[in-house]
Structure 1
Amino acid sequence: MSNVGLIGILVAALAIIAAAVAVIRLLRKARARRRARRRADPANDYAIRTDWSRSTGTVNYSSFVYFDVDRDGRYGVADRPMAGIMVRLFDGQGGFVASSRTNNAGYANFTMSTSAVKAALRLPGAYLFSVSVPPGWRSPSANETQSMEFHLAPGSPTGLVSRDLPRPVGLAPVRSLAGRMAAGGSATLSVMANGQVLERRTLAAASAFRFELAEEADMVVITGGGLDSRLALSPYPANLGLLSPQTLSSEASLRTIGFDDVTGRGFRKIPCGHAGLEWRNLNAMAKDHTKDSEGYVNGNVSGDHVAYTSSGYPAEFSRETPFAFHSVLLSVAWLKAEGETALIESWRGEQLVASDEVVLSALTPLHYAPMLGEVTRVRLSAKHSWQMVVDDLVLAG
């Protein structure tokens, strides 16, 4: 084929493209004129819809996941939305369709539309919504997999509806208790429920321990070896650190420091003087201030604000006069840092009185409870410099 022929074909193709572009522009202008005429006519301001045959919208069809704090299988006032939980969508034949993680409000969203080609839910039929339960967790609501039937509904926002939304899915970690014994001496640990002993364990010298707690357990009591102490269990895994004879008295008057009163806005550096302490490299932030920040949401256990270590750098709280460090709830801020190691060091003056390494999660707080009688400074740091989330710091004195 000659160059002249190729040039002719190219010119013809360009002419066709130009004509198509011109037609598209004309159609858009015509549509804009029709819209303008409708908007100019007051009769159309509040017109009653008469044509219910078309559905062109797109909505989010959602599965809601929550932390079942009281483990009763029902979403109640004590429970909190969970972020970062994977939910998968399958069709009626079991074929994978799409996946979505829950957002800061606890919703995993799937687009639904009969007109949008890329919508996850486009056709009628049965679909399966499957919540991925994290290892070491369970679903008290026992509904992590739910089947929903969809049918066509002309005139609805998307043209597709189901009879109902999936029921809220509750998740809870299997609680455990961990800690370490120093060399020399032993102690007895009793797990209690409603004042009754569920089990007793002998804690040998120079040993570490970790075991799962019974669902009904509400207290642990340690006796012997000068380590007498007791801890009211929380809904979260607990770590006692290195058991110390410098434990605070069980009669001590405890106070819980939260971070809602640091600011009514989304973010503020914690000022020295808050709760009578000096603060270094710790910020207070609304749990949903940062998008897709799983650990800030899941690490929040009271109110709507948490504290976190600024940019992942070591942080401290301190006071010149000694105070008792009972416990704190710790998480890692991001799911991509799941399993980060935290180092918590407690000082009295220049003397290091406790140093514990604990493993953090972005899905649940860890109830770190050293129950130290007298400290003047506590330092928090992360092995890989990820932000640590702090809530419900409990002190005495």
Structure 2
Amino acid sequence: MSHSLAVLGGGNWPPRRRGVFVAWLSVTAAVCIHSNTYAEDAYAVRTVWNEYTESDLNISVFVFRDANRNGTYDLEDHPMSGIVVDSGGVGQTASAVSNASGFANFSMSGTERDVEIKNEGTYRFNVDVPPHWSVTTGNETQTTRFEVFPGSPADMVALPAPSLVGLAPDLHIEGHTTKPFTLSVTGAGALQQAVCDEGGNFMFPVEPGDWEISSPDMPRPRQIAVVATPVRITQSWLLQEESVGDLSRIEVTFDDLQSEGVLKIPSGYAGLRWTNFVMTHQKFYDPEGYRNGVLSGEFLAYNGSGHPADVSREKPFDFLGGYFGVSTLRAEGETLIITGWKGDQETHRENLALSALGPVYVAADFRGITRLNFRTAHYWQFTSDNLSFRLN
């Protein structure tokens, strides 16, 4: 004990080292006292609730892609990124863009001044609906009242909080042909007829469901299912003379290679050779199209660095179709060129405009090819999901 006391009192230590030790002991004691105080305060029960917190908090409008168009956010749906929401109320207006999780955030506070919502009153929130999209929840514009509420996280509350907003694309069947077709589309209790325009383009507005397309210029009527996205029909699809069973059909979703991040797709995946295709989790990159382009699961694929990408096989195979978009709103309307090759001979070609807001389904039916090439006209990344093949 005397030895310990001697050490604490300095003992035989040199004056310089004794000073260092005493300073260390003082700091340690102060830290311990502070830590105990902090621990007590950290778990203290709050008893005064009418004092201002003097902080801010986000209030959000959640935007989602309503896949089944039922006006309810359910398991089939996905958050939408890149949607502009405007707010207006007492004193100022503001805009926000929905983020990777679908939230358009507006800061609010009853005490802070550097926020979007800082005054009591009624505020309006309006979704800037993209062209060729519709609101399924009936609330393109909604209002809510904000009131100061001391003691809440932001000293202000919304009564009620803004409701979520569902969007769905206006559905249609479109295509391009070099032949002057007169087409009939039958389904959902409706019959439509149209003649291709001078450029060989056609488009029918449709509802979800099974549709039959026929023409005197087609070898046979064909059926197409319209589900959650617009459909692009290729000339190859229109002109196929015989039906082939789907016994060997495979669907590539990119959800079974890894659980996160990004990965160069290896050859052999789904029995095919992949060149310059990369798969990624929908939230790995910031631009909107990587999230909005997902059809199923959480993964999709894109062309590395925006350059051409191939799918190939020594033995001929069929490309039945898939879902395609563009990676960012900065490239909205970018053109995707899909070509099918048998050996050195080009046998199929299709051009289509892409969107970062959501994919379009391409009904291709490219048969007997050994290489499938994808490239964009201006070298932006396209996105792809749920590609279907038949391996003969």
Structure 2, unpaired ranges of 5+: 1-29
1:293-332 map, 5 Å: 293-332=287-326
- Select which of 43, 47, 70 maps to 2:44: 47
Contact kept? 2:92, 2:116, Cα under 8 Å: no
Task: Report the count of equivalent residues.
Answer: 357
- TM-score if structure 2 supplies the norm length? 0.85
Q: Distance in 2 between matches of 1:36 and 1:112?
A: 38
Q: Deviations over 1:150-207 (max 9, x none)?
A: 11111000000012321110111111211123348x56432323xx5x2143656986
- Select which of 224, 228, 237 maps to 1:231: 224
Q: Distance in 2 between matches of 1:346 and 1:187?
A: 26
Q: Distance in 2 between matches of 1:378 and 1:222?
A: 27
1:160 is matched with 156
Contact kept? 2:71, 2:136, Cα under 8 Å: yes
Contact kept? 2:292, 2:358, Cα under 8 Å: yes
Q: Distance in 2 between matches of 1:248 and 1:303?
A: 33
RMSD in angstroms over aligned alpha carbons?
2.3
1:111 is matched with 107
Q: Distance in 2 between matches of 1:210 and 1:223?
A: 13
Q: Distance in 1 between matches of 2:108 and 2:35?
A: 29
2:55 is matched with 57
1:266 is matched with 261
1:347 is matched with 341
Q: Distance in 1 between matches of 2:367 and 2:334?
A: 28
Q: Structure 1 pair 247/340, CA: closer, same or farther in 2 (3 Å)?
A: farther
Q: Structure 1 pair 123/313, CA: closer, same or farther in 2 (3 Å)?
A: same
- Select which of 143, 167, 178 maps to 2:139: 143
Q: Deviations over 1:269-300 (max 9, x none)?
A: 00000000100111000001112x21011100
**Mean Cα deviation higher: 110-119 or 221-230:** 221-230
Contact kept? 2:233, 2:363, Cα under 8 Å: yes
Q: Deviations over 1:236-291 (max 9, x none)?
A: 11111224534672533332111011221211000000000100111000001112
Sequence identity percentage? 33
Contact kept? 2:182, 2:196, Cα under 8 Å: yes
Contact kept? 2:230, 2:361, Cα under 8 Å: yes
1:240-389 map, 5 Å: 240-243=233-236, 245-246=239-240, 249=243, 251-253=245-247, 254-291=249-286, 293-389=287-383
- Select which of 181, 184, 189 maps to 2:184: 189
- TM-score if structure 1 supplies the norm length? 0.84
Structure 1, unpaired ranges of 5+: 1-33
Q: Distance in 2 between matches of 1:50 and 1:39?
A: 22
Q: Deviations over 1:118-154 (max 9, x none)?
A: 1111121111111100011111111011101011111
| SS of residue in 1 equivalent to 2:40 | helix
Contact kept? 2:340, 2:372, Cα under 8 Å: yes
